[in-house]
Amino acid sequence: MDFPIKNVLRKPDLAGRMAAWSVELSEFDITFAPRGAIKSQMLADFVLEMSTPPGENSAQPWTLSVDGASNIRGSGAGVVLEDPDGVLIEQSLRFSFKASNNQAEYEALIAGMKLAKEMENSRADLLSKLASTKRPGSHRTFIQETISRPSINEEQTVMVVEADDWRSPIIRYLQRDELPPEKEEAVKIKKM
């Protein structure tokens, strides 16, 4: 357990102002920890970025729209991601592998979800700055990407030849009109 008042009172050489602030802040469960050299502007920018206005919910939904297509010339997809402020991020995907229409749409959905995660986590500040520098009504960003292989790898399958079982004589009769040498078995199979 950490007791900030105890730490302040143990070190009488601390400035009076520091001790007073530590006592004041301790009632809010705030502890003092010395920090490294941080420029004041960086700290101010961090506080501004991390704060949300009162009453505003920080977990607002993003809208993701995808469309994929495939033809003889190739396959690709389009992704449109809209953040809560109306900033549009458009992504064009070209696949350098064969894909069906459904697979192209699934690849677009996966790429869109990755893009949303990237945008929300690592580039949200960049997007807000980008949006604030563009003229009103044109909050759009376009990203083009080539995907070289599918997101989900195809499983390799091997055809296994099974040993003879009770179905084998029936299958041979149906496929090749071949009856077993035993008369009783041959009669049974013909009756089926």
**How many domains are there within the chain?**
3
| 139 and 84 assigned to the same domain | yes
Which of the pair, 187 or 141, is modelled with greater confidence? 187
| 103 and 172 assigned to the same domain | no
| 32 and 77 assigned to the same domain | no
| 101 and 140 assigned to the same domain | yes
Which of the pair, 123 or 51, is modelled with greater confidence? 51
Which of the pair, 15 or 22, is modelled with greater confidence? 22
Q: Which domain holds residue 21?
A: 4-50
| 43 and 102 assigned to the same domain | no
Residue 19 lies in a domain: yes
User: Which letter, b or e, does each residue of 39-78 get, where b requires 16 or more Cβ atoms within 10 Å of its Cβ?
Assistant: eeeeeeeeeeeeeeeeeeeeeeeeebebebebeeeebbbb
What is the pTM for the complete model shown? Answer: 0.39
CA quadruple 127, 130, 132, 134: dihedral positive or negative? Answer: negative
Tens of pLDDT, residues 53-66: 665 555 677 787 77
What's residue 64's pLDDT? 78
